[in-house]
Amino acid sequence: MSEQDKYMKRGVSSGKEEVHAAVKKLEDDLFPRAFCKIQKDPALDGRYMVLHADGAGTKSALAYAYWKETGDLSVWEGIATDAMVMNTDDMMCTGISNDFYVSSTIGRNKHLISGEVIAALINGNVAFAERMKKHGVDVHLSGGETADVGDLVRTIIVDATALGYLHEAEIISNEKIEAGNLIVGLASYGQCAWENSYNSGIGSNGLSSARHDIFSKEVARNYPESFNPLIEEYAYIGKYGLTDKSPLEGIDMGKLVLSPTRTYLPLVKKIFENMRPEINGMIHCTGGGQFKTFNYIKDLHIVKSDFLDIPPLFRMIMDDTGTKPEEMYRTFNMGHRLEIYVKDVMTANTIISMAGDVGIDAKIIGHCIPHQGRRVELQTEFGTFVKED
């Protein structure tokens, strides 16, 4: 069975092609290649707004199983961070780096998810906002909704909606990405200045694949509520237990896969303050992995030829599950989750130096060349993979 067939059997899609096709029917965007939809603020002339929604996805199902196994409530703080960052860092790619207004939405099965979990999630939101405040970024918590929907949700789903504002001169719409641009990739893994421990880099994408391919049938037997029984044949087909040792000292497998999504906000805020006009585009390599860029370019050939090191977790997924390299690059970020498109080497090197100062590895991972149509080419250690129209 192909990887795509396995994904479909689990009810997921790595590229969400049907979603991109559906949104084309919406009203024309002011900035059609911007990473998020940018609209004029109806209340104020000259100001624009981004209203965005995202969440932790199926990562919350793994957090549930780990919490039941260990009693460790701290994993829910990580899930709260995931839901926040998947919004703020998407919006950041449009040029917003401060004053995010975030509302949390939680749907739970009250029979399984206790009040202490809800408290841990709310405390996680507060902790994230306080941590960002220490690093110069204001995230304003605007309340939210917790719904008891046990007839719809097996365990819990954690989402958020965020709002931010910017002026026209601040907008990064990806319209300026052009031939000759260099691509700076910022690592998704390691431990940066605002993280408390090692980050595996997995973020909140590809978790339906990762949790079922890594963890064993023991998880399915102990926590059948953590997956849909219709996919039982494809659920938890790996070889690891939740608390088995990982390749990283002091971190078990559950915690490794549950690493909270890294935010780049404090770094990018400083980059914007120093060189916003030098930035032609920004891509958050989330759903769609290293081919995410494809959706935001026009008449351009993107060549990624010098990737950052592949983090241990992604090597483990590939080696232990037999997932083909091309599917790995389509599903996961494979080591860098943020791309900044710049005009010249000097700007690239300055960003790389600034990233290093806060503990984030970065390098020039590729460049842009002229092309009729769209083409993204990944030159990896496993071969060359291409997506084009």
Mind spelling out the 3-state secondary structure of 132-157?
Answer: HHHCCCCEEEEEEEEEECCCCCCCEE
Residue recorded with tokens 């790619």: 93
Which tokens sit at 264?
């780049």
Round to whole Å and give the CA distance between 249 and 246.
7
Which tokens sit at 83?
């839901």
Q: What sign does the dihedral 337-340-345-350 (CA atoms) show?
A: negative
pLDDT in tens, 102-139: 999 999 999 999 999 999 999 999 999 999 999 999 99
Round to whole Å and give the CA distance between 239 and 63.
18
pLDDT exceeds 60 at position 26: no
- In the prediction, which pLDDT does 219 show? 97
- In the prediction, which pLDDT does 24 show? 59
Which tokens sit at 200?
């595996």
pLDDT in tens, 42-54: 887 789 999 999 9
- In the prediction, which pLDDT does 12 show? 67
Q: How far is CA 11 from CA 2, 61, 110, 317, 361, in A?
A: 14, 15, 24, 20, 34
pLDDT in tens, 260-282: 999 999 999 999 999 999 999 99
- In the prediction, which pLDDT does 42 show? 86
pLDDT in tens, 62-89: 999 999 999 999 999 999 999 999 999 9
- Cα angle 58, 61, 62 (rounded to 5 degrees) comes to 100
Among candidate residues 37, 242, 265, 262, the one with its CA nearest the CA of residue 135 = 265
What band does 208 get if pLDDT is binned at 50, 70 and 90?
very high
pLDDT in tens, 347-385: 999 999 999 999 999 999 999 999 999 999 999 999 999
pLDDT exceeds 60 at position 148: yes
**Averaged confidence pLDDT in the chain:** 94
- Phi, psi dihedral angles at 156 (to 5 degrees): -160, 150
- In the prediction, which pLDDT does 261 show? 98
pLDDT exceeds 80 at position 4: no
Which tokens sit at 88?
């703020």
Domain ranges, ordered by start, for the chain: 3-388
Assign domain 3-388 to its CATH architecture: Alpha-Beta Complex (3.90)
Type of residue at 230: L
- Percent of the chain residues past pLDDT 70, beyond the cut: 93
Round to whole Å and give the CA distance between 72 and 40.
44
The predicted model gives 277-304 an average pLDDT of: 97
Round to whole Å and give the CA distance between 75 and 63.
6
Round to whole Å and give the CA distance between 344 and 278.
8
- Percent of the chain residues past pLDDT 90, beyond the cut: 90
At residue 52, the 3 state secondary structure works out as strand
Q: Give the count of alpha carbons within 13 A of 277, CB side only.
A: 1
- In the prediction, which pLDDT does 22 show? 62
In our burial notation (b when 16+ CB lie closer than 10 A, e otherwise), range 330-345 reads bbbbbbbbbbbbbbee
- In the prediction, which pLDDT does 43 show? 83
